[in-house]
Amino acid sequence: MPPGDVHSMRTMSQKKTYTIACPKCKAAQEEELYESVNVAEEPLLKESLLQNRINAVTCAECGFSFRVDKPLLYHDPLHSAMIYYLPLGGADYDKGERHFREFLGEMHTLMPDGLDLPDVHLVFSWAELVERVFLLEADLDPRLIEYVKYIIYTKNSERLKPEQKAILFNAEDSTAEQFCFVIQDVATRKLESILHYSREAYESLCETFDQDEQTPMLLEMFPGPYVSARALLLRETAEEDEDA
In tens digits, the chain (244 residues) has pLDDT values of 344 444 444 557 999 999 999 999 999 999 999 999 999 999 999 999 999 999 999 999 999 999 999 999 999 988 888 999 999 866 688 899 999 999 988 887 877 776 777 789 999 999 999 999 999 999 999 999 999 999 999 999 999 999 999 999 999 999 999 999 999 999 898 999 999 999 999 999 998 888 767 778 888 899 889 999 999 999 888 877 666 5
Whether residues 72 and 146 share a domain: the answer is no
Q: How many structural domains compose the chain?
A: 2
Whether residues 163 and 120 share a domain: the answer is no
Q: Looking at 139, 162, 182, which one is the last position of a domain?
A: 139
Whether residues 127 and 97 share a domain: the answer is yes
Whether residues 107 and 169 share a domain: the answer is no
> Computed from CA positions of residues 97, 56, 189, 175, in that sequence, does the dihedral angle turn out positive or negative?
positive
> Computed from CA positions of residues 98, 9, 220, 79, in that sequence, does the dihedral angle turn out positive or negative?
negative
Amino acid at 194: I
Alpha helices in the chain (DSSP H): 44-50, 93-110, 126-137, 142-155, 199-209, 215-221, 229-243
pTM, full prediction:
0.88
Whether residues 5 and 117 share a domain: the answer is yes
Q: Are strands 81-85 and 165-170 parallel, antiparallel or unpaired?
A: unpaired
Domain span at residue 151 reads 140-244
